[in-house]
Amino acid sequence: MEKINVAIDGPAGAGKSSISKEVAKKLGYIYVDTGAMYRAVGLKFLDKSIEENDAEFIKSLNETTVDIKYTDGVQHIFLDGEDVSALIRTQKVSQMASDVSKIGLVREKLLSLQKNLAKNNDCIMDGRDIGTTILPDAKVKIFLTASAEERAKRRCKDLENSGQSADYETVLNEIIIRDKNDSERKISPLKMADDAILVDTSHISYEESVNTIYNIIIDKIN
Ligand code: DC
């Protein structure tokens, strides 16, 4: 039977992953966080200056393995056989993930992994180019966004809740840079698919966002 695929795209910090995770659980689908795959590649090349056409880089990328496994429904990301799920959530890795995601060879490498997961599972897949490039025929496409200021506020709160210090202006600036990087790159930029439904969470709570997305999906698949 054909699998049900839901594509959720949007800028960094819009709440895609926490909302997608919760909605996927309610629906009994797997949640595929494609950002984690770019983060794994970013981690591999952290602190290295990478040149797209450099033979050394191409060789190293070809030898790199990125894999996703699920334990009790929770996604774990493996880089060269090692579970790096906890190591990829730093600001440095975020920036590097954004940098490596501009490289065509990196995108090609991750594309088949993403397509295969969608082919074999009912899933909610989140990222930047899922509705436009990876799953153009997804049954449901959602573009989830919020203002940069609201996203920065939420990010600061998350950082503070996890005991880290957060400077609002710095966080806002990082968000603006990443938005620009992700939406202005040449290959598969962050872009709303023509047939996606726009959900702006700037003025709605997390619970309302979850319900909105859940209801859109239920509506579309029935
Ligand atoms: O969703 P995230 O913040 O974990 O993603 C990290 C980076 O990976 C993001 O800045 C851009 C890139 N990315 C991408 O180019 N395409 C995707 N489908 C997902 C993420």
DSSP string of 41-102? HHHHTTT----TT-HHHHHHHHH--EEEEEETTEEEEEETTEE-TTTT-SHHHHHHHHHHTT
Q: Is the CB of 35 under 6 A from ligand 1?
A: yes
Q: CB of 31 within 8 A of CB of 76? A: no
Read off the pLDDT of each residue in 1-23 and give the average, rounded to a whole number: 95
Predicted confidence at residue 162, as pLDDT, reads: 83
Measured from the CB, is residue 97 less than 6 Å from ligand 1?
yes
Distance from the alpha carbon of residue 9 to the mean position of ligand 1, in angstroms? 10
Nearest-CA neighbor of 114 among 31, 215, 10, 210?
31
At 76-122, the pLDDT tens digits run: 999 999 999 999 998 899 989 999 999 999 999 999 999 999 999 99
pLDDT of residue 164: 83
Q: Do 53 and 95 touch, CB atoms closer than 8 A?
A: no
**pTM (two decimals):** 0.94
Among protein residues, the one whose CA lies closest to atom 12 of ligand 1: 98
pLDDT at 41: 98
Tell me the average pLDDT of the chain. Answer: 95
Give the distance, in angstroms, between the CA of residue 79 and the centroid of all CA atoms in the same chain.
17
**Does residue 144 carry a pLDDT above 90?**
yes
